[in-house]
Amino acid sequence: MMGTSCLLCAPARLRRAWCVASMALALVLVLAGCGGSAAPSAGQSAGPNRLSVLTWSGYELPEFWEPFAQQYPNVKPQFTFFAEDAEAFAKLQGGFQTDVVHPCNPWWNLYVAEGMVQPIDTSRLTHWDELDPQLAALGRFDGQQYFVPWDWGYESILVRTDKVQQPPQSWADLANPAYAGHLALWDSGESNHIIAALALGFDPWKTTPEQEAQIKQWLIAIKPNLLTYWVDFTELAQLMAAGDVWVAANAWPDTYRSLLKEGVPVAYLEPKEGRLSFVCGLGISSKAQNLDLVYAYLNAITAPQSMANFANEYGYGVANRKALPLIDPEIVALFELDDPTALQRSVFYQPLTAQQRQRITTMWNEVKAAR
């Protein structure tokens, strides 16, 4: 199993929405149909005072980039959301244009290899020296910095403690028939490949064709337990609060935090194989047009108070070490944000090759289609 030192050894990630820029796209089509000049793809910066950001739902809250609003009061960032990393990558592959993109670490190498992001001039980053150097190193390729680490977190098993008499001790326990009709899995082929591999005792990043066949069969075999595949953390929180879902796999800290606020009896477990963990960060699109605005946004969002506001809202860890004293001590304790061994005990997401991702995507589509 990968994990104890993967944060340091990962070559030079959750998580979280269903919203897309359909309204913006509709506007583009209307303008094109009216005979105007060619309109940019949805999300594209179209002028000197425009900034577009492709990110996770919930990451657009103004308190996460308040210094930018103070510096540029007449510029409101345009946010477009994606539900998982595969969607964000596919958007940019398909010609979607944005200034800033916010993927997670196992995908960063593909963005660089495809020329989708440009090197970052760290001399223009006000808070660069405050960022965790181990996290920053993950965004460096061929001696150049391509991603600025921002948030880190877990995927784990979330349970309704009033509904489950025997909580899972392992990822393999998701197959327990006691959970029949009350299990929710994240609709992510990559994540389900990983947890199934761990359940079967395989290295998720070095699976053989025979092992991948076993992973597929295991995911099909647990479908009698399945109520739904969840997509957005708010959707999962609602299902658990209603008592429909008793056990949720690959749940993020924000779902746990939300349910605790509502007084729902839940526990965020640490399976014997380890929680999954990831780092997400900000990259500059190779087609970005407004670099002054881009760097102002990066400086705003990486400021200690901005990162502390994010941690206080969702319970994630953050890359700026000066943010820790500004985070609610209860959240720090709840998610062990001050424990340097917490990530080392986890199973840290590793990059996959394009071929591996294609096989996983095919497998996941077949699993969901199976009856």
> In terms of domains, do 218 and 359 share one?
yes
pLDDT score at 28 = 33
Q: What is the mean pLDDT of residues 49-66?
A: 95
**39 shares its domain with 19:** yes
The whole-angstrom separation of Cα 263 and Cα 88 is 34
pLDDT over 70 percentage in the chain:
87
Q: Are 42 and 85 in the same domain?
A: yes
Number of domains in the chain: 2
**Is residue 60 exposed (0-12), middle (13-18) or buried (19+ Cβ within 10 Å)?**
middle
Phi then psi for residue 350, to 5 deg, are: -115, 155
pLDDT tens for 204-219 read 999 999 999 999 999 9
Residues 235 and 289 in one domain: no
Average pLDDT, rounded, for the chain: 88
The least confident of 29-33, 40-44, 242-246 is 29-33
**pLDDT tops 60 at residue 26:** no
Nearest to 60, CA basis, from 322, 297, 358: 297
Q: Which is it for strands 144-145 and 148-160: parallel, antiparallel or unpaired?
A: unpaired
Residue 1 lies in a domain: no
> Residue 2: is its pLDDT beyond 90?
no
Q: Do 18 and 146 share a domain, yes or no?
A: yes
| For residues 238-247, average pLDDT | 98
**262: exposed, middle or buried (Cβ count in 10 Å: 0-12, 13-18, 19+):** exposed
CATH of the domain at 203: 3.40.190.10
- Would you say residue 287 lies in a domain? yes
Q: Mark whether 158 and 180 lie in a shared domain.
A: yes
- Domain membership flag for residue 177: yes
Residues 171, 251: one domain? yes
Residue 2 lies in a domain: no
Mean pLDDT of all residues in 140-147 = 98
Both 194 and 268 in one domain: the answer is yes
Q: Do residues 16 and 125 both lie within one domain?
A: yes
Domain that holds residue 32: 7-152+278-348
pLDDT of residue 344 exceeding 50 = yes
Answer whether residue 255 is part of any domain: yes
